[in-house]
Amino acid sequence: MAEIDTAFLKAMLPSALDDIVRANRDKVELALASEEQLAPLSKSVAATNQVRGAISDWRFIAMTVDIPERRLWMENVYLVGVHEGHDWITSAIQSIDRERMLVRTRNSVYRLIGDPGIGEPDTGALLGICSAFTAWGWGPMLGVPTLFY
């Protein structure tokens, strides 16, 4: 039986949000969202019975893309956490209602459970982000480790 090369695995797997984007790092930043980034998203979200699910151990992360030569600047905030026992990342957030603990994306509403997670997401969440970015077709441009999680 072959031995696992732990040095290779450590180099392959991201250890933090900043370690997910490995290409075009001068143009793309991925980090925990700041209050300044969250403020424009603070809006009322109607409490409906169409809540897709509950997210625990949640955090907001922000991806900023700045490519001046293409006149492209984009900043999106995503919700990362645990949904039905699985690591989860939503599509871009449109509004956050902290009073009702609801978050709206383009097609879904999620309920936030408990307090936000503290600090960087854990390894499982980081792998989930890599997997989502790969599935969304962003992997090659961002140099995201190719993972299907």
Cα separation values, 4 from 7, 10, 149, Å: 9, 11, 19
Q: Give residue-wise pLDDT tens across range 79-88.
A: 999 999 999 9
Distance CA 109, CA 55 (A): 11
Give the CA count within 13 Å in the CB-facing half-sphere of 107.
2
Distance CA 63, CA 132 (A): 13
Torsion (CA) 86, 139, 103, 16 in degrees, nearest 10: 70
Q: Give residue-wise pLDDT tens across range 71-125.
A: 778 899 999 999 999 999 999 999 999 999 999 998 899 999 999 999 999 999 9
Instruction: Name the pTM for this structure.
Output: 0.89
